[in-house]
Amino acid sequence: MRSGSYGDWPVGCRPANRFRAGPGFRGFRYDNSLRVVFAAESVQRPARKIKPAQRGDWVDLMKLIDSEKDAVSGKWVMKNGELYSDDGGGSKIQIPYQPPLEYDYVVEFTKTMGNEAIVLLLSRKGVQFIWLMGGYGNTLGGFGMISGRDIAENPTRTKLPLQSGRKYRCLVQVRAKGVKAFLDDKLIVEYETDFKDIGPHGAWSMNSAKLIGLGTWGSPTVFHSIKLHEVSGKAKAGKDGEEKKGEMSLDLGNEVKMKLVQISAGKFTMGSPETEKDRGKDEVQHEVTISKPFYMGVTHVTVDQFAAFVKDSGYKTDAEKDGWSFGFEIKDGTIAAKKMDGCSWRNPSFDQKGDHPVVQVSWNDAKAFCDWLSKKSGKTVQLPTESQWEYACRAGTKTAYPWGDDPDKGKGWANCADQSLKKKIPNETIITYFFRWDDGFVLTSPVGSFKANAFGLYDMIGNAWEWCSDRYGDYDKGAGTGAGFVLRGGCWDGNPQGCRSARRGVGTPGRRCFDFGFRVSVDSK
């Protein structure tokens, strides 16, 4: 074993230092004089029967844990629905659950005392790795191992102390193209990888490399909640169509897929009540019947998905054909939208990655994408109608926002004009009303980074406006006949007024902007 463990002080971390670990070794600890002593060996227990992954589920992992049978080392106790680690120098517990290839691992915890680490034990394709917080004397965090290097020596190293007595919420996203770690909804580390450089950490190995788990080091901890969202399942998808009842997966080529969920038929009240704060005059309430079920994209169409369309079809967007679009510049504490040459979905005027919502797309561009995917998949792919969109957004709610009527209770739900944006543009005069929470993203965020609504849809509010198939018009006059098409959902720079479920926007077919995107729907036969 080369380099030090996360708990080593400088002597143990010299490059020339070498130590060979036995099969039961699980790390070091210190006595009161800071001398390195060996911790007790792990208890090697056979793994219990595991739960296989099922796509799209939220799994309450706490319910799967037997604190006696699943403990690998240390003392673990389940009490009143919470898991306690009585850590005397290093504790691990494996959870009898095999995660899918892509997942969100969410853990809420409170470190009751101690000055060392909390660890999430992760797995992908049978390869274990870890996310560590408060290591190295409660100073660092990061993923390990990376190219054989521990947290203190690899590119994911970051300052990450934890306070005793404070409740934290940690989210680790494992995706095909990398990993991300959030703490209290703030992005801490993002690491792009094909997972060929990620490997197990000797001090945190478990009995089965296919399982996930938790660990603590010198820090007794109570875990309040342990959940996992199964973003994609273990089994490879077959032909386009329903993966299981209520789901659909469309193949865009080059291993790029799009997931949709079925929305049941039903009735709802569209628009907003006259008592709703900041409502628009065009939001007159009326009853709407969705007569048949339909499928809706779980997220916005992403940059990667749109790129697959362009590569296959050779399509050029309105912005690319015209040679310009509306971008923005942040300068002197303000944000200024302006016409920019060369601005398009490829260069939206700010940095994006493949899992962000594609922006700088016009209604024409969005429709062209739907027409292409219809031919490619054999499905009727289209932009949702405005009534379909609001029905799917509300998902049974009648409040101003999916989370209720109070805009300031929306933390964890959406990426909107929040305090992180306000810090970047403190002198802004156009956006004067910000959400009071910090969503962790100044501009666009990876799709699916926030809570899904009751229908399993992400980012129906915020991130990017979404084109609908309808022309804009007054509800009481029937189908719209105006020159513009409807936009819904608000965006990353949208204030509380613009990010309500009933809020209506409008744009001409060729208009594109740094916060215009879309998602698709599919007819249910």
pLDDT in tens, 2-50: 333 333 323 333 333 333 333 333 333 333 322 223 233 333 444 444 5
Confidence tier at 232 by pLDDT (50, 70, 90): low
Q: How far apart are CA 190 and CA 180, in angstroms?
A: 4
Q: Where in the chain is the domain with CATH 3.90.1580.10?
A: 247-322+352-417+432-523
- Rounded to the nearest integer, the mean pLDDT of the chain is 85
- Before 145, cis peptide (omega within 30)? yes
pLDDT reported for residue 30: 31
User: Strands, DSSP E only, in 26-175?
Assistant: 28-30, 36-38, 58-60, 71-73, 75-79, 82-86, 91-95, 102-111, 118-124, 127-134, 140-144, 158-159, 167-175
Phi and psi for 204 in degrees, rounded to 5?
Answer: -120, 25
27 conformational bin, left if phi > 0, alpha if psi -120 to 50, beta if neither = left
Domain 247-322+352-417+432-523: which topology? paralog of FGE (formylglycine-generating enzyme) (3.90.1580)
The residues near 336 (Cβ < 8 Å, ≥ 6 apart) are 328, 329, 330
Q: How far apart are CA 272 and CA 500, in angstroms?
A: 9
53: three-class secondary structure by DSSP: coil
Query: Is the per-residue pLDDT at 285 higher than 60?
Result: yes
**Closest listed residue to residue 306, CA positions, set 350, 263, 261, 348:** 348
pLDDT in tens, 291-333: 999 999 999 999 999 999 999 999 999 999 999 999 999 999 9
Element (H, E) at 373: helix 363-377
- Kindly report the CATH class assigned to 44-232: mainly beta
Query: Is the per-residue pLDDT at 90 higher than 50?
Result: yes
**Of all residues in the chain, what percent carry a pLDDT higher than 90?**
68
pLDDT reported for residue 483: 78
Strand partners, 170: 107, 183
Query: Is the per-residue pLDDT at 288 higher than 90?
Result: yes
Which amino acid is it at 344? Answer: S
496 conformational bin, left if phi > 0, alpha if psi -120 to 50, beta if neither = alpha
pLDDT reported for residue 480: 67
Q: How far apart are CA 320 and CA 109, in angstroms?
A: 48
Instruction: State mean pLDDT over 125-142.
Output: 91
Between CA 50 and CA 61, with CA 55 as vertex, the angle to 5 degrees is: 45
pLDDT in tens, 239-251: 333 345 588 999 9
Q: Kindly state the tokens that stand for 301.
A: 């169409």
pLDDT reported for residue 472: 94
pLDDT reported for residue 357: 97
pLDDT reported for residue 312: 95
Q: How far apart are CA 214 and CA 127, in angstroms?
A: 16
pLDDT in tens, 209-226: 889 999 998 889 999 999
pLDDT reported for residue 241: 38
Instruction: State mean pLDDT over 471-497.
Output: 88
**Beta strand 71-73 with 91-95: parallel, antiparallel or unpaired?**
antiparallel
**Of all residues in the chain, what percent carry a pLDDT higher than 70?**
85
Q: Where in the chain is the domain with CATH 2.60.120.560?
A: 44-232
Task: Output the DSSP codes for 286-340.
Answer: EEEEE-S-EEEESSPPBHHHHHHHHHHH----HHHHHTEEEEEEEETTEEEEEEE
Confidence tier at 89 by pLDDT (50, 70, 90): low
